[in-house]
Amino acid sequence: MKKKIISVVGARPNFMKVAPLDRAFKRFEDKFEHIIVHTGQHYDVNMSDAFFQDLEMPQPAFFLGAGSGSHAEQTAKVILGFEKVCLEVKPDMVIVVGDVNSTIACALTSVKLGIKVAHVEAGLRSWDRTMPEEINRIATDAICDYCFVTEQSGIDNLTKEGRSPDTIFFTGNTMIDSQFFALDNAKKSKILDKLNLTKKEYMLITLHRPSNVDDEKQLKNFLDIFTEFSDKRKIVFPVHPRTRKNITAFGYDDLINKNKNIILTEPLGYIDFLCLMQNSDFVLTDSGGIQEETTALGIPCITARTSTERPVTVVMGTNVLVNPESENVKKAISDFIQGKRPVLQVKVPFWDGNAGERIVSVINKLLEY
């Protein structure tokens, strides 16, 4: 009888992490039935459809429709919906990825039902407990059965926290698997023509952290910085919904809408965004995954945060961590424009496009009973 494996997706980065697993499970179709559950934590019909298409993923077998709300409301909705799925499907294992509310909600539900849980992207730590993602990471790693890690720091952190080495597997980064998988299609993207961009002559921006976009003064600082440097590099800014909402609420639309060198777009599909990233001069972000994606591509990246849970991107990669105060950010951008930027010297171990296959091979052995 086939083993039933549920993989959970809840937010956009989860799609990139689960798609390689789905492809790998297809090679074991005689042994596994792989079932994708979309919690609907972040959901836009156009964006979700685009991600499934871009990553060649099957549509989810279950859609929970959790939607937005406070952390408590969202987590509770996912728990209630996912419990029903588990009772119906009776999976042999649940795979949760990353660090969103759906990650801890589905891990907690599964463990209490006696279902084995594997956490993909385990062991990452920012050491900043004001970040909801940090709490989700710590809690998920504390209760899951198996930890699949993307970098050495994950092994080090889990070992210090008392995890048995027998439950930790260094398999690489499925997000990079998706990136490699999509690169050929990204080269065919027309987004540069659509936005009238020239390769390596623009800076790509993403901002969504509450600490950067919910504070009126802090958000204005960033918009002023973009205005200041827009005569040296075009600014391409796919705007997160919460960031867009705050720009308008704080009355800052005119700060950027009247500047032809600042190009605001809606959130983009994976292929178009990958094309923009690959052809940018450099990236400024407060995202977690983009730190990894830029490192894998060798694209210089400024991360406007006080800490990173992905230290390998700074130690081995092309990422520079910058405290998001105005003068610090301006100096980092100025340095990058002048060519003072990190260069990828050596590839990160196991960031080779085969992490999904390694993970599924391990799960195959774990469930051989």
Distance, in Å, from the CA atom of 289 to the CA atom of 295, rounded to the nearest integer, reads 10
Candidates 38, 71, 208, 240; catalytic one: 208
In the chain, which ranges are E strands? 3-9, 32-38, 62-63, 93-97, 116-120, 146-149, 168-170, 202-206, 234-238, 262-265, 282-285, 301-304, 319-322
Distance, in Å, from the CA atom of 18 to the CA atom of 16, rounded to the nearest integer, reads 6
Distance, in Å, from the CA atom of 296 to the CA atom of 220, rounded to the nearest integer, reads 31
Q: What are phi and psi of 38, to 5 degrees?
A: -100, 115
Tokens of 363: 């799960």
Distance, in Å, from the CA atom of 247 to the CA atom of 47, rounded to the nearest integer, reads 22
Distance, in Å, from the CA atom of 280 to the CA atom of 255, rounded to the nearest integer, reads 23
Tell me if residue 38 is catalytic. no
| Other CB atoms within 10 Å distance of the CB of residue 368 | 8
Task: Order the strands of the 116-120 sheet from edge to edge.
Answer: 62-63, 32-38, 3-9, 93-97, 116-120, 146-149, 168-170
Chain position carrying tokens 């894998």: 296
| Other CB atoms within 10 Å distance of the CB of residue 367 | 14
DSSP character string of 123-188: T---S-TTSHHHHHHHHHHHH-SEEEESSHHHHHHHHHTT--GGGEEE---HHHHHHHHHHHHHHT
Pairing state between β 234-238 and 262-265? parallel
Closest alpha carbon to 117 in 133, 85, 140, 90: 140
Give the angle subtended at the CA of 191 by the CAs of 299 and 53, to the nearest 5°. 95
Cα-only R_g, the chain: 20
Calculate the CA dihedral of residues 186, 191, 193, 198 and round it to 10 degrees.
Answer: -70
Give the residue numbers marked as catalytic.
208
